[in-house]
Structure 1
Amino acid sequence: MKPRPRPTLARRLASGLVALAVLGVVAVVNRPMVAAGSEAFHEFSINRQSYKERYGHWARLPVPPEFRVNAIHAALLNTGKVLIIAGSGNNREAFQAGTFRTILFDPATDTFTDVPTPTDVFCAGHTFLPNGNLLIAGGTKSYEVLETDIKHAAGVLKIKNESPDHGPRFFPKGTRVTSPTGYVYLTRADVTVPAATKMQHGRQWMVHAGQAEVWVDAELAGNAPIVRRPAQYRVADLSGDVYGLADKITREKQEYGGDKTSYEFDPRTERYVRVGDLVKHRWYPTLTELPGGNVLAVSGLDEFGRILPGDNEKYDPATRRWTAAPELKRVFPTYPSLHLMADGRLFYSGSNSGYGSDTVGRTPGIWNVRTNRFSDVAGLRQPQMTETSSSVLLAPAQKQKVMILGGGEVGESPVSTARTDVIDLTQNRPRYRPGPDLPAPARYLSTVLLPDDSVLTTGGSSGYRGGAYQGRARSDLFNAQLYRPTTNRFERLADSTVGRNYHSEAILLPDGRVITMGSDPLYDRTGRNPGTFEQRVEVFSPPYLFRGARPALTSGPASISRGGKAFFGTPSPRRIVGARLMRPSAVTHVTDVDQRSVAASVAAAPGGVTLTVPSGRGLVPSGWYMVFLVDDRGVPSAGRWVKVR
């Protein structure tokens, strides 16, 4: 008996359409079938080859239950694996239990592994170092306490030691502190107060008191121990040289407190390596690499939840130590987006993630980190709408154009914007110019550079943390779009199926796909009950992955010098029209200062192409990059790792 011939693609499509038509007829009689028919037609439509060639395709990544975490941070390592950091994951119970999580995902094998996580790196800062390690600094020392949960008045007490002769003074947790009116407060932690120091000024000797700060809580519950004015306090019944000062002791909300631990995550050993502590505790800081390879840490909340008043610091990878940088004093809101310019200056786009003054430090501008001069830039429309906005250094990086997208008003405002603006930093007097509007107002929008110079924008919500917006209980955005700098417009892509707002990430993978994860909605879909962290992971395949065979990248060096040339093997060299060096992402709170795409010139050669890497540390910071070759159809190869020296 002969085997039955397989039906042709045309016949299979026709059969599918007939089946869908039958479903539609049945649905008229049996209304519950409507949803099934609609879903079936949707699945049929989005899986057609022609649809995927134009709009791309989304697919859920199956994550085993034991590896589902609250993705707060994500970074692509030079091993090709994705580092997913939760820390305590914005979960107070996990924080109190000391349960901190980090997961490694390998896209090549779709496997996950658990990584021991020593402290709560939730809401730390991070950036890649020239050696490929991920520097992670700061995190969470204490969780916020809402006003309704505070039963005992509390405040920050500054303990002064004016004696230079008796050494440091140690006070254990629970030390009694007494106000002028007789109320007693207890220290929340151990604290050591340095001895005073003697300094000679001309012919006079002066004593400078040693000091340290600590939380104190009223022994008596209620409002009676509240003190709203600066006052002096007696510490441990001591008098004279040791005393306490506090601006206020109240039952006001206590913000998250920053940590000062710092690590380098080593992609080879897949372990956190403890390095020197930060000078200042930092929660929500930005870390950005400087042209020489050092790292600058800016902004953040200190251990008492106060915005740091411009106290920035530097990390030296050679010594693995942090040092204060008083010469670079500058105030920013938390998680400011800083983009390294070709000339070594930093551009602050105005994007940030919230905490800080509603006026000071929010104006975008160019920061000369050699002189500490900051030059404001003009032209940004709706400048009050930069909180939870996104910004990206457009490709190729040589053009020095930065785009800001969406954002909202300061605080928990439900108001957001569809505005995008673009600035050309090569101009003598750079200023923002209007860009195309997003399809809808958006906060928390993920922006990912693709190897064809386009920008994928996905996720986000119109309301605060996905909450109510213009009468809708939930405001997550499922649309995705592609921005092309050459046309200065957005192109519609396939809709995602998972909402992404606060605490979400998107990262380009070496194979050209984009992985998306996270989301921390304030409410559930009804808008009435508390939300739960989104642990589903979705992967987007851009349209270029469905347009026929991709150019092969068969060989290449492990490293290359900045300004140098290197040969990369490919079987069809004359079809290669471009090459990109793409720096991997390290993203949190839609802040990604690492991502950049640098154009490398291409010359065809027998069996491959010769790439010339641009010179200039500001344009091509030292470190690991993915090399993508792009053919004459705009289709990129898979990425190949190379270290730029």
Structure 2
Amino acid sequence: MHMQLLNDDRVIIYDRTDFGPSNLTLANGKCFKKDCTAHSAIYNSISNTFRPLTVLTNNWCSSGATLPNGTLVQSGGYRDGERVVRTFQPSCKTCDWVEIPKQLLQSRWYATNHALPDGRMIIVGGTKAFNYEFYPKTPSSKLFTMPFLKDTTDPKAENNLYPFVFLHVDGNLFIFANNRAILFDYTKNEVVRTYPTIPGGDPRSYPSTGSAVLLPIKNIEMGSDKIEAEVLICGGAPAGSYLKALNSHKFLPALNTCARMRYTDPNPTWTIETMPMARVMSDMVVLPNGDVLIINGAGKGSAGWELGREPVLTPMIYHPNEAPGSRFELQNPATIPRMYHSCAILLRDGRVLVGGSNPHAYYNFTNVLFPTELSLETFSPPYLDSSKTRLRPVITTKNIGGKIKYKKNFTIKFSVKGLIKPDSIKVTMLRPPFNTHSFSMSQRMLVLTKKGPIMPIGLGQYKVKIVTPRSTNIAPPGFYMIFVVHQNIPSKGIWVQLT
């Protein structure tokens, strides 16, 4: 149900705690409330190994983000977990979850977290929670009301849960819920700007559950008033889909459109694009080359238990820089349906880890349309095809790992076996997000600015000088993966801590 890539290449995976016993036994014979099975695990993407973790309070439909030091902070859930904060420290072979009760001022179920420029995270909304708060807490911490969340609530279907939240390059937040969006100043608790309603008026957030990404941010050495920012929202379910599926078992076709808006324009408007197929509950993953993978989901119905039909097995790649009408590229179909409660996240080697799918109230493996799915698999984008090996960069710099500062030049050395096209070289920087319910929280990619030409330094060896982001508004402090991209083919990433 939830995934986060940590800065040691391990992946935190967890489910709710009250589904009943899982298929993974707790370590050292532990048992809690007569349950001796694990509801969380940590998966090592390098060694392909895993170990069980212990989570006690119910983290069902919770949210999360990472702090500047890489610690995962996971918040909220259901009943005994609704005000709990749970932390996990990376780069520790024996660490487990630390659970801190009553840390949240408001019960949070289906909320959204986002990393902030000052190192805190904001926690927005949730079921009947028309407000926001911050973590870590201080003695003066308090709740802040957000009327926008109440205004976008359907009293029966609640289509404002898991709102899409993105940090804008000026430090404000772009927030989308139901079918509307605002630019919000969380420091003053006021709406800075209201955007047009999405064309057609259909909801896109949970349980209508489309997905959204902030497209790669370029020209990051400029002032925030000169940087363009675009949001892309794809799929979802038409108005009324959730209630018709829930009450009448009528499963409406999902939406087959994406809406794209450059919301920094003086008069921004949504541009509608038609996908090759309709999707609800899909995941959108920003790839190292700036393309967007659209994977998982269903062709009919809605998010919710037993409410999805017609699994969509064919992933698509969206090429944001291509001309309209030629941006979608179909991929080879999968064999495992991944619908409600599935996840997808980018790994440092450029693959996408995909796992889960459980549309049932409990674990159910037999005599159902879509059994509970316990497997993990990876999707390999076309840039990993063996025919592209000679064009694939390999980062050779030895001393770039560790901490890097803002507004600094640094040099990356890399090699390419074949002939290079210098004009096609770019360097990207990606923050690994927290993924749940078809939305990747704090997902963010920057195209770093090159300072000067690509310089050869030996046979097949090159270097490129790059400038880091100019402010924490453009890139909140924390761990990022840096990639060298040649002819749209990325290297393996390297970890850096922007501080």
TM-score, normalised relative to structure 1: 0.63
Where in structure 2 are there 5+ consecutive unaligned residues? 23-31, 151-159, 219-226, 245-250
Alignment of 1:390 with 2:390, yes or no, is no
Contact residue 390 and residue 406 of structure 1 kept, 8 A:
yes
Contact residue 314 and residue 322 of structure 1 kept, 8 A:
no
Deviations 1:19-38 (A, max 9, x none): xxxxxxxxxxxxxxxxxxxx
Query: Tell me, what secondary structure is at the counterpart of 1:544?
Result: helix
- The answer for the alignment partner of 1:367 in structure 2 is 184
Where in structure 1 are there 5+ consecutive unaligned residues? 1-71, 143-257, 302-306, 352-361
- The answer for the alignment partner of 2:75 in structure 1 is 137
- Greater per-residue helix proportion: 1
- After TM superposition, the structure 1 = structure 2 runs for residues 490-639 of structure 1, keeping only pairs within 5 Å, are 490-521=328-359, 529=368, 531-546=370-385, 547-549=388-390, 550-555=392-397, 556-572=400-416, 575=422, 577-602=425-450, 603=452, 604-605=454-455, 606=457, 608-631=463-486, 633-639=487-493
Letter in 2 for 1:268: S
Alignment of 1:349 with 2:183, yes or no, is no
- The answer for the alignment partner of 1:268 in structure 2 is 91
Describe the shift of the 1:366–1:121 C-alpha distance in structure 2 as closer, same or farther (beyond 3 A).
Answer: same
- The answer for the alignment partner of 2:271 in structure 1 is 433
Hey, what's the Cα distance between the residues in 2 that align with 1:328 and 1:381?
24
Contact residue 410 and residue 466 of structure 2 kept, 8 A:
yes
Alignment of 1:443 with 2:261, yes or no, is no
Describe the shift of the 1:473–1:458 C-alpha distance in structure 2 as closer, same or farther (beyond 3 A).
Answer: closer
Letter in 2 for 1:456: L
Deviations 1:369-414 (A, max 9, x none): 2332223311512322312111110123653110110111353443
Letter in 1 for 2:488: G
Describe the shift of the 1:561–1:644 C-alpha distance in structure 2 as closer, same or farther (beyond 3 A).
Answer: same
RMSD of aligned C-alpha atoms?
3.0
Describe the shift of the 1:372–1:492 C-alpha distance in structure 2 as closer, same or farther (beyond 3 A).
Answer: same
Letter in 1 for 2:395: L
Deviation at 1:100, TM superposition (A): 4.8
1:457 to 274, 278, 294: 294
Deviations 1:260-297 (A, max 9, x none): 11022111234223446111221111111222222111
Contact residue 298 and residue 312 of structure 2 kept, 8 A:
yes
- The answer for the alignment partner of 2:19 in structure 1 is 91
- The answer for the alignment partner of 1:277 in structure 2 is 103
- The answer for the alignment partner of 2:43 in structure 1 is 105
Contact residue 126 and residue 161 of structure 2 kept, 8 A:
yes
Deviation at 1:431, TM superposition (A): 2.5
Hey, what's the Cα distance between the residues in 2 that align with 1:498 and 1:585?
24
Hey, what's the Cα distance between the residues in 2 that align with 1:467 and 1:441?
18
Describe the shift of the 1:467–1:431 C-alpha distance in structure 2 as closer, same or farther (beyond 3 A).
Answer: same
2:66 to 109, 128, 134: 128
Describe the shift of the 1:579–1:499 C-alpha distance in structure 2 as closer, same or farther (beyond 3 A).
Answer: same
TM-score, normalised relative to structure 2: 0.80
Query: Tell me, what secondary structure is at the counterpart of 1:462?
Result: strand
Point out the structure with max Rg over C-alpha: 1
> How many residue pairs align between the two structures?
436
Hey, what's the Cα distance between the residues in 2 that align with 1:623 and 1:136?
16
Deviation at 1:76, TM superposition (A): 0.6
Contact residue 233 and residue 259 of structure 2 kept, 8 A:
yes
1:401 to 213, 226, 230: 230
- Judge which range, 568-577 or 130-139, deviates more: 568-577
Contact residue 123 and residue 132 of structure 2 kept, 8 A:
yes
Describe the shift of the 1:75–1:473 C-alpha distance in structure 2 as closer, same or farther (beyond 3 A).
Answer: closer
Describe the shift of the 1:379–1:260 C-alpha distance in structure 2 as closer, same or farther (beyond 3 A).
Answer: closer
Deviation at 1:600, TM superposition (A): 0.7
Deviation at 1:593, TM superposition (A): 2.2
Percent identical residues = 27
Describe the shift of the 1:97–1:279 C-alpha distance in structure 2 as closer, same or farther (beyond 3 A).
Answer: farther
Hey, what's the Cα distance between the residues in 2 that align with 1:559 and 1:297?
27
Alignment of 1:338 with 2:182, yes or no, is no
Deviation at 1:582, TM superposition (A): 0.6
Query: Tell me, what secondary structure is at the counterpart of 1:271?
Result: coil
Query: Tell me, what secondary structure is at the counterpart of 1:428?
Result: coil
Describe the shift of the 1:612–1:136 C-alpha distance in structure 2 as closer, same or farther (beyond 3 A).
Answer: same
Deviations 1:106-147 (A, max 9, x none): 1211111112223222221101111111111111226xxxxx
Deviations 1:426-475 (A, max 9, x none): 112323121x2122221111111111111011111022358999xx9941
Deviation at 1:623, TM superposition (A): 0.6
Contact residue 308 and residue 339 of structure 2 kept, 8 A:
no
- After TM superposition, the structure 1 = structure 2 runs for residues 200-349 of structure 1, keeping only pairs within 5 Å, are 259-269=82-92, 270-275=95-100, 277-301=103-127, 307-308=128-129, 310-316=130-136, 323-326=141-144, 330-331=148-149, 333-349=160-176
Describe the shift of the 1:426–1:467 C-alpha distance in structure 2 as closer, same or farther (beyond 3 A).
Answer: closer
